[in-house]
Amino acid sequence: MGDNMSVAIMQEPNLPVSEARAQIERMKGHWQQFWFELRDFCERQRWIALGYSSFKACVQQELGMSRQHAYRILDAANMRAELECHPGVTLEMVTERQLRELKVLGPEQRLEVARQIDFANTTVREVRQIVEQAKNPPAHVSYNSGNNEWYTPAEYIEAAWRVMGRIDLDPASSPIANATVRAVRYYTVEDDGLSKPWLGRVFMNPPYAGELIGRFADKMAHHVLHGDVSEAIVLVNNATETNWFQRLLVLASAVCFPKQRVRFVDPDGNPSGAPLQGQALLYLGINPAGFTREFEAFGTVLHGRATAGHD
């Protein structure tokens, strides 16, 4: 919109002073309603009823607000009005600064990005990072070569426990990660889980580097097909076009696609920023109904044809 923003002119020259004054007071007293009140006040040119020569003079005197600040809020109000009519966008806790970061995107890309963000739990800096990633997308996840030490948030682990009853093995873990996973046995990078037996009920968040993730997926598929792994939940990036993802998918009886990107935990136990791509949780087992019951709170759950050990 900017300083040269054009607005619809709906002047009401005979508007009572009391009504214009009441709108000023509503804007002062109800901040969540403020954006749209200010937008309406500007579009209807209601400062005229209060004796002001311009919108700028009115907001400076009545609201103690600079013209620049007022127009930033008008931009935010317009973007919110544009976005909130679409399903899948949650804006109850969005701030003007968060919406300001979306302004550089086109309408379609802005909507796509807004659907990915939990504004109530995302900082302005994180929104800026997501926008930059949308403007300059990185190489696809299937070629990920970044840090492999990112751990699963507790809410997903608790859901996995409720589905499987326990976790016998985490084949790609660490002492920090297992404090949350609580697997009976876990393998660290030093243990080399790819060389060890996998048995029972398994939770796996494998290393995401391209070569390693393929090897972990192959080993999981092998042990499921041979009946060594009775149940498994696998958290991976949603690289649906890759061979390793397809190998797991054909064995899955259910898969959850979270509606928000999973915020992994770093090696120091601190939550990470927003990741570069979305995730999927694949369930390989005979209880897809239980998996659906526990994981549908995170996102859409789809059922497959496979059952662990019976392809």
| Burial status of residue 92 (CB atoms within 10 A of its CB: 0-12, 13-18, 19 or more) | exposed
pTM of the model: 0.55
Domain locations in the chain?
A: 17-135, 142-303
pLDDT computed for residue 231 by the predictor: 97
Rounded Cα gap, residues 6 and 218, in angstroms: 59
- Per residue in 129-148, pLDDT (tens digit) is 888 877 765 433 333 333 44
pLDDT score of 243: 86
CATH class belonging to 142-303: alpha beta
The 8-class DSSP code of residue 50 comes to G
- Tokens 């739990």, residue located: 121
Grouped pLDDT means (10 residues each) for the chain, 311 residues: 44 69 63 78 89 91 89 85 83 84 83 83 88 64 44 91 96 89 93 93 86 88 93 91 90 93 71 69 95 95 66 42
pLDDT for position 282 = 96
List C-alpha distances in Å: 102 to 197, 206, 303: 48, 33, 35
Q: Return the SS3 of 16.
A: coil
In this predicted structure, what is the pLDDT of residue 141? 39
CB 240 within 8 A of CB 286: no
